[in-house]
Chains A and B, each alone.
Chain A
Amino acid sequence: MTAFRSTALAALGLAAFLVFWEAMPRLGLINPAFLPPPSTIPAAFLREIELGVWGEAVWSSLSHYVVGLVAGAGAGIGLGLLSGMFSGFEAFTAWIVRLLRPIPGLAWVPFAIIWFGVQPSAAVFIIAIGVFWIVFFATQGAVRGVDRDLVEVARAFGFRSPWARLTKILLPAATPGILVGLRTALGQAWMAVVAAEIFGVPGVGARMMQASSLLSTDIVVVYMLTMAGLYGLFDTGFVALQGWLLRWRA
């Protein structure tokens, strides 16, 4: 299939979806209060922007997202490297990991609220935990999977300290695997943003809950699409960064 043809089909599919969505409430098959037709969304979007609510909500969600992502990914990469490099460290933490790993990120919400209150730091905490495990396991696996022959090259040239092994071989060689984990985490963290904010921390999630309690479903849809758009933006940016970092690959 040519690129043009597949693009055309994709556009056609989306158009069909929108027509179907528009028709359902318009034909009275669904109560418009439960499912607003898509044609009403742009107006709702503009209202939110004019009120200044949209910008505020997006800004605070993004700040939770970025801080949580950086904290969780930083800890995940750091501990993942240690665990991948030193079998002693891995053995020492094995049961701790077994104990904590199965706990879903959202199960930390009660403690997040007790420790941090209904504050941005609580949202950051929830996001960071979700991101941490994904990045931790990706990093650990990537380090363990590094070609031992390349580690030998470093040793043969006299680079024998753990630090030299890490910076000259393990980290660059593990980068592809770490990036795969980070990309998964990027999506996972969005989920955590909404979840954390639904409990009241100001942001996109909180605004959605507010709107839904007033049955302003058009506003709920505005924020659902906002999240899809933001995620798409981040993912596209990340894929570009990934492509640049891994430009050495065939």
Chain B
Amino acid sequence: MSTPIIAIKGLSLAYERDGVRNTILADLDLTIARGEFLVIVGESGVGKSTVLRVLIGLAEPSAGTVRVEPRPDCRTPMALVFQDARLLPWRRVLANVAFGLEGSGLTRAQRLAKAREMLTLVGLADLGHRWPHQLSGGQRQRVAIARALAVDPDVLLMDEPFSALDSFTREGLQDELQRIQATTGKTILFVTHDIDEAVTLADRVVVLAGAPGRVAAELAVTVPRPRRRRDGALAEAARQLRAELSGRSAEL
């Protein structure tokens, strides 16, 4: 394996509220290889999202180091897709996608051209003129993905991005995301609590468990892409992962 694009070492995060110390993460080690699709699974409240928040700079770690090795000309090493799309309601879809490019030195025309390209990539080329409230939940999440991809990050961080969608839309977007990764070659760090989603998407699954959260298990998913749902090998990977997870919670 080449040098990891992200190397997290000894990451801890704790905060104090009303005199009570709350430890979210303790001594977490994690590396992500360039081009890898890494999925973090774990129960709610185990600190999965916190890892992403630290990486994007929305949370300050109490201890530990995060080393990022972006490609040399990269302006924004990482971009985050939130669980709820969080589009800016006063901007049309196209302007939402162009949001992260403002202040990048591009002209308005260049920004909008890039935004149009990204909308096409997520299959919404015709909806640039709409307001966010005129979109379905799945479309909103596609726009959020386009907005993150528009800044051309080295790593795409995704925080349970499909968990609020119905299962039909969710599976469609999972396929779409794999296609996008194949097209763009992005490194993706994806957080979910859905085991089937994890094995469908991942090259490697990391199980986060415990309070405070730490890496409890790891599983490489070697099933070739494009993956078919109900593939026996995927089902086997999901079974292993469930065993890991239930084993862990039995220990706790």
Give A residues with C-beta under 8 Å from B. Answer: 149-150, 152-153, 155-159, 164, 168-169, 172-173, 175, 247-250
Contacts and interface: CB of A to CB of B under 8 A. Distances in A.
Nearest to B92: A248
Interface in B73-99: 76, 79-80, 82, 84, 86, 88-92, 99
A150 B76 contact: no
B102 A152 contact: no
Minimum-distance CB pairs A-B, first 4: A250-B133, A157-B100, A172-B90, A248-B90
Interface residues of B, number: 22
Nearest to B99: A157
A26 B102 CA distance: 70
Given A157-B100, A168-B102, A248 B76 contact: no
Of listed A157, A164, A168, A173, residue having the most chain B CB within 10 A: A157
Nearest to B56: A156
B38 to A, nearest CB: 19
Contacts, number: 51
Main secondary structure of the interface of A (DSSP, over half): helix
Nearest to A160: B57
Given A153-B88, A157-B100, A168-B99, 16 more contacts: A149-B84, A150-B86, A152-B58, A152-B82, A152-B86, A156-B56, A156-B57, A159-B102, A159-B103, A168-B102, A169-B88, A172-B88, A175-B90, A248-B89, A249-B89, A250-B133
Contacts of A249: 89, 133
B151 interface: yes
Nearest to B151: A157
Interface in B29-81: 56-58, 76, 79-80
A204 B86 CA distance: 50
Contacts of B103: 158-159, 164
A248 B86 contact: no
Nearest to B52: A156
A175 B91 CA distance: 13
20 contacts: A149-B82, A149-B86, A150-B86, A150-B88, A152-B82, A153-B88, A155-B57, A155-B58, A156-B57, A156-B58, A156-B80, A157-B76, A157-B100, A168-B99, A168-B102, A172-B88, A173-B88, A175-B90, A248-B131, A248-B133
Interface of B: 56-58, 76, 79-80, 82, 84, 86, 88-92, 99-100, 102-103, 131-133, 151
Nearest to B76: A158
Contacts of A247: 131
Nearest to A173: B90
Contacts of A175: 90
Nearest to A159: B103
Given A249-B89, A250-B133, A153 B82 contact: yes
B192 to A, nearest CB: 19
A159 B91 CA distance: 17
Of listed A150, A164, A248, residue having the most chain B CB within 10 A: A248
A25 to B, nearest CB: 54
A153 B76 contact: no
B90 A158 contact: no
B144 to A, nearest CB: 9
Contacts of A155: 57-58
B57 to A, nearest CB: 7
Contact of B86 (A153, A159, A172): A153
B149 to A, nearest CB: 12
Contacts of B132: 248
B130 to A, nearest CB: 10
B73 to A, nearest CB: 16
A166 to B, nearest CB: 14
Nearest to B81: A156
A178 to B, nearest CB: 13
A250 B130 CA distance: 12
A196 B56 CA distance: 56
A234 B140 CA distance: 38
A224 to B, nearest CB: 40
Contacts of B100: 157-158
Nearest to B104: A158
Nearest to B132: A248
Contacts of B102: 159, 168
Contacts of B131: 247-248
